[in-house]
Amino acid sequence: MITLELWYGLIVSLINIALQAIATVATIRLLRVASTRLTAHRKVATLMVVMMMTAAVLTLAHIIQVRIWALSYVMVGAVAHAQNAFYLAFVNFTTLGYGDILPSPDWRILGPLTAANGMLLFGWSTALMFAVLSRVLRLLRIN
């Protein structure tokens, strides 16, 4: 039986997946703009700038995703204080799982759902970073 907590976690996960899709599109657009300006004489610098921009977009997306989980914890009363909610969401999202702060018993399932969402989105980011790197290397003809 799917409980309220599972539905709630699924909705928050889908919001974060939508945000990841937006970050992916933004990264692709940045790459398209950058690819028109790629210079063969500064291959290493160009590669570094493109990869740093990609990492910055994805890192910002992950911080926002953690904030969304933290807000969701506070909204349902799983964690009393916003600062604790952000910390708990970050620990779960990164699958670090210290266990020093726990959600209320009624909302405990949000921890594993946050971790599953984080693993999926970090994997997506890793795949995107690799795709961007491959594309830039091909455009710059670096082997």
Q: Please state the rounded mean pLDDT for residues 106-135.
A: 96
Is the distance from CB of 68 to CB of 12 less than 8 angstroms? yes
What tens digit of pLDDT does each residue of 51-97 get? Answer: 999 999 999 999 999 999 999 999 999 998 889 999 999 999 999 98
4-140 fold = Helix Hairpins (1.10.287)
Query: How many CA atoms, within 13 angstroms, populate the side-chain half-sphere of residue 30?
Result: 21
Q: Please state the rounded mean pLDDT for residues 103-109.
A: 92
The overall pTM is greater than 0.85: yes
How many C-beta atoms lie closer than 10 Å to residue 132's C-beta? 22
